[in-house]
Every structure is written in C-alpha cells, then in structure tokens.
Chains A and B, each alone.
Chain A
Amino acid sequence: MRKFAIILMSLFLIPLYGENLTGRQIMEKVVKKTGWKDMEGEITMKITVRGRTRIRKIKMYSRKRTEDETDMVMKFLYPPDVEGTGFLLIEHSRGEDERYLYLPALRRIKRIAASGKGGAFMGSDFSYYDIGKPKLQDWKYKNLGMVEYNGIKCYKVEALPSSKKVEKDTRYSKVIHWVDPEKWSVIHAEYYDRTGTLWKVLDVKEIKKIGSIWFQTHMVMKNVQAGSSSEMKFENLQVNKGLPASIFTKRYLQQ
C-alpha cells in the first residue's frame, strides 16, 4: 500500500519538475499566465529595412474576455499621417476571430479577413501572429530539453503547426521557443518558413515584472532572409486597471 502511494504521488509530481514537463505544458504556462485580466500600454516600433528606419507608436489595450479569448485594441499615435488608425481584434476560441480596421482617412470601419495572420504588423518584421497570443490547439509542442541561452537555463520547445491551414495562415513550418522557466516567458525564438528555412529570429531584450506578472517589454525581430529588423518596446505598461468593455468595441475604435 505504501509503495502504491509513493508511485501514485510520483506520477502526480512528475509534471511539476522541470525536465519532465511536456512541450504543451510549458507553453500553457507561457500562454495562460494567470494574474492579468487587462493591460494597457504604449508600443514604440522601430523598423529598419536596408538602412532606412521608420518609427511607429501605438496605444494598446488588451483584456481577457474569457480564459481562452482575448480582445485587443490598438490606436496609432505616430506618424501623424496614420494617427487615429485603429485595429480591433476579438478572439473566439471556437470559430474565427473578428478583425476590424478603422481608417480615419476613409472615416470607415472595415472588416478584414480573419486569417492571414502571417501578414506584417504595421509593415514590421512582426506578424499579426507574433504579436497575438498563440492558440495552443494550433500547435503540436515538443520539449527538446533544457539548454542554456545567454546564461539562462531554459526549456527549448519545438512547435509544429497542427494543420496545413495553420501553417498556411502563419507561414511558419516550425517555431522553436527558448522559455525561461522562472518567468515563464519566451526569451528567444526561431521561426522557419514553409520551406523549412530559418526566416526570423526573436530576441527578448527585457522582461519586466508588472504586478505579479512577467512581461516581455523589449523585443527585436530579425528577418534573416530579408536583412531587415524591427524593435518593439512597451512603455507605461499597466495591468488590471479594470478597463471597461466599451473600449473593445467598434464604437471606441472610431472615437
């Protein structure tokens, strides 16, 4: 009986100890960080293509509508010709996400296609997929073991698209994540295109604890094929302010 109890206990305890977590369990910890319900902040994006640099600034609001569904609103602050342009994302765990774009020059809200997440976000090297929260069911994860990256012992997790649709949509045939187990944050990632060639490399330069949660606040994405890079910095990040639901609406988008 005692032996049986020890075996039973060990079975439950296995997932709690580092090496034995599955890839999916690791990514669940990354994606489903508890403790935040909503957040707002400002994003500064520096895009460099063949020596030419452009700056974009955005105000961002996000909230967890349910455990698996997030809403996000982004409003451009800079440059002045696109100021007021707004983007609204309403995620649906079942069914397709809703995406809307408000173009002040046209004074209209336009519904945009739910897929095509591989498209460049604000013309940067980050795609819409990269800036959003991955849907765990879209990927098959595999724990490749513990490795050291920049002096940090972390998990190396391979993610393969669970379907051709996901692969086509994100344009990734494989993503490798380096996950810091202390902060449950991705600190480095490699993205492979549909031919299996290394396409983009993400480096997280800064992770800040806001409230009780660690957030990636400074990231650099390099497109190794095109030779371009994009730097994304979060500033004035605030969590759990109790953002009203009225922010995540088409009405707010055009105000």
Chain B
Amino acid sequence: MRKLAVVLVLTALLSGVDFQGYLKFFAHPKLVSPYNFDRYGTRFQLTMKEKRQNIEFFASFDFDLDQRNSEGSADRSSVLKVYPVEAYVTFHFSAVDLKLGKQFVFWGRTDWINPTDNVTPWDYTNITAEIEDYRLAVNAVKADWYFGLSSIEFVFVPYFTPNKTGMEIPGAEQVLPEQKPENWQEGIRFSSSLAGVNFSTSYWRGFDLFPTVYPSFAGLRMEYGRQQVFGADFDYATGRFVFKGEGAYYLTEDAEGTNPFVKNPYIKYVLGMDWNVADNLSVNLQFVQKRVLKWHEGLMGPTEDKMTNSASVRLSYKKEGFYNFQLIGVYNFQDGDYFLLPVFTYEISDGVNLYLGATIFNGPENSIFGRSKDFSKAFIEIKYSF
C-alpha cells in the first residue's frame, strides 16, 4: 500500500492535479491507569482533486507516523502507516451522479445517532475531533438520481467491513461473511421535500456492523448476521428550531425470535431538535429508543433488554469566530452508563487549529459504555491545513 500510495502521489504531481491536505501532530493520553499514551505521532494527509469536464477524481491518503500506539512503542521502520481515506471517481451526468470507489456513505438526518445509517462502519477505538478518524470509508458504487425536489440514491457495497470496536474477546474467532455475490450489500434511499418538511425513506440489505458472539464446537465465534433495514427520517425548521426524527425497523435472520444466538428483529428511533439558543450557542437534544421485537425472557441474554431508552446532547458554543467549544454526550437510562466527547477548538491563525478534547466512556462494568472505559482518552492535536 505504501508503494502504491507513493506512485499515485507522484503520478498526480506530474499531471498537475490540485493538492490539498494537512499536517497534524496528535497526542492521545489515556484517561485510565497507567495513563500511558494510546497514540502520539504525526499525520500527513494528502488530498488530490481533479475535475475534467464531468468527471471528478478524488483521492485522500493518510501517512501516519505513530511514535507510540496501543501496541506499545514501535521502531522507525514499522511506525509509518499509509492508507487511503477515500479514493473515488465521480461521473456527473445531467440528472445523475455516479460515484465509484472508496467513499463515505452517510444516511440519516439526526445527530450522531442514526438508525438508518448502516453503510459506513465506525472505528470506536479512535473517536476524536474529526469524523475521518472514527468512520471507515467503504468500497462502493453510489448513484444519485435527481428530479425536481426529490432524489433517489442507490448504494452497492460488494464486501462487508465491520465496526472496529477494540473489544475483541480472547479466544473468539471473528468470522466475516465470505466475499461472494450472495454476501453483497445494497440499498436504496428516496429523499424529497413537502410543505417545508424534508424526508427520506430507505431500505438497506446488509450485515449487522456489530458481531453476535455464540459458542460452537471450535470455541467462541463472532459472526455478523444478515439484516434488512427499513428506515425513514425527516427534518422541519421553524424559528430557532429544527425538529428531526429518524427510525428504522431491523429485520434480522431470526424473524420469529426463536434462535437465541441470532439477534431478534428490533426497532430503533431518534426524535430530537436543534435549538439556536443564542446566536453563538446551539443545542441539540435527542431521545433514542430501541425496542426488541419477539422478545422472550431469558433468551436475549443479560445485555439485551426488551426496551432501552437513551438521550443525547450536543452543545456548540462559538466565540469571536476563533474559539469553538462542542460537547457531545450520550446517556443510557437503563444502566446509567454514558459517553462524553468535549472538544475545544482554537483557530491559531488561518488554517491552523488547536484541538483539545477527550473521549470519555463510563458506567457499570456490563453496560455498553462501561465496557469501553479503558478506551477513555484525552486528545491534543495541532493541525496545519494547506
């Protein structure tokens, strides 16, 4: 990959492609004992863009030089990691955009928690100020067809990529779906607008991004179940408010809820609003509910309740255009566990930013965020964009 990236960059240089990117120093000290660094090092991101008539090329590569990472200190030869963040080509036709390659595909309108968004996986081990740190682009074909105020989006993802949770179970075997046509993933989303309300309906046939763990003769297995997701979302703005909603019905392979080792079908929805409290202060509040269908006592195990309620908040405060503070929080009512992501951004000069923040997971041992306690960390990053 390293050689390929260098060749691509050199080729792009010679062909007069537009270059952008950034250089970032990052230090991620852990917030749990013994308070060592989760990561610290430097990243150089190079983005190449070129538009020729109706064809647009885009490639973004990360050159990560970790002086230390979660595996411990590394020698100089093994610390440089090169990987494509995104690399795609887009064909713009009169009413259709066709995008091929490694790309982010995001669905949904609510904030942070999106039940309809099942295309692009998460990297829960690296949540920082920037989305490309914690979302993993997928190789996909995406076509958007626009007509009037409406559009239809088709997405095809041939190979499945799961979430990166960092919570590997010792001895458990991770079994990914085989790379064959039966395991292709595809979806469609219709978006439109009526009487000031923007809305979408969607269908996704893919795999659960989280594994299900079950015992087999060979030991524990972590498998990713097939699922179909029927979703819908909306937003509506009035005065200082934007009301939003998003929900999905997840049809798993255990439609009747009789197999204890396969997730039951469930419904998950989010209702919330953005509120411009003042010109420099905005708040997003959301209520999230998940209801497991065909639920039977004892079948789902101790971690899966029949119904779970949570709430999320995002608070943004800006001062003089140079300072920005954002706090994202998610709280689960059942177990009392929570996740916090406070980020302070200071614009040192044009294109140079300082980020100070933390990713905090906390709660009882067997709760969702409680289990992730060890991933809690602070982050200090200085980024120079060019």
Contacts and interface: CB of A to CB of B under 8 A. Distances in A.
Interface of A: 47, 49, 52, 54-55, 78-81, 83, 95-96, 98-99, 105-108, 111-116, 118-120, 122-124, 127, 171, 228, 249, 251, 255
Interface residues of B, number: 41
Interface in B68-111: 92, 97, 104, 106, 109
A251 B279 CA distance: 27
Contacts of A255: 56, 92, 97
Max chain B Cβ within 10 angstroms of own Cβ: one of A98, A123, A249, A255: A123
11 contacts: A54-B347, A96-B238, A105-B132, A106-B131, A107-B106, A111-B198, A113-B239, A113-B275, A116-B240, A120-B318, A249-B146
A119 B106 contact: no
B198 A47 contact: no
B130 A105 contact: yes
B192 to A, nearest CB: 12
A10 to B, nearest CB: 46
A80 B279 contact: no
Contacts of B97: 251, 255
Contacts of A171: 279
Contacts of B92: 255
Given A119-B276, A120-B321, A112 B146 contact: no
A120 B131 CA distance: 25
B320 A228 contact: yes
Contacts of B349: 54
A81 B385 contact: yes
Interface in B10-68: 20, 22, 56
A111 B242 contact: yes
Given A108-B106, A171-B279, A95 B386 contact: no
Nearest to A83: B20
B88 to A, nearest CB: 12
B274 A119 contact: no
Contacts of B383: 81
A36 B171 CA distance: 71
Contacts of B6: none
The 3 A-B residue pairs whose C-beta atoms are closest, nearest first, are A123-B321, A81-B385, A119-B279
Contacts of B151: 251
A101 B222 CA distance: 40
Contacts of A98: 196, 237
Contacts of B237: 96, 98-99, 111-114
Contacts, number: 95
A78 B351 CA distance: 8
A119 B350 contact: no
B353 A81 contact: yes
B381 interface: no
B241 interface: yes
Max chain B Cβ within 10 angstroms of own Cβ: one of A47, A98, A114: A114
B235 interface: yes
A228 B321 CA distance: 12
B186 interface: no
B334 interface: no
Interface string B117-157: 00000000000001110000000000010100001000000
Given A116-B276, A119-B276, A251-B97, A111 B235 contact: yes
B366 interface: no
Contact of A55 (B235, B240, B274, B350): B350
Given A96-B196, A112-B276, A113-B274, 14 more contacts: A49-B321, A78-B350, A79-B350, A81-B351, A83-B20, A105-B130, A107-B106, A111-B235, A113-B242, A114-B239, A119-B279, A120-B321, A249-B146, A255-B97
A113 B241 contact: yes
A249 B94 CA distance: 14
B117 to A, nearest CB: 10
B214 interface: no
Contacts of A106: 106, 131
A112 B316 CA distance: 13
A107 B240 contact: no
A80 B350 CA distance: 8
A123 B151 CA distance: 33
B280 interface: yes
Contacts of A83: 20
B299 to A, nearest CB: 38
Nearest to A226: B320
Nearest to B94: A246
Contacts of B333: none
A131 B131 CA distance: 31
A170 to B, nearest CB: 10
A80 B351 contact: yes
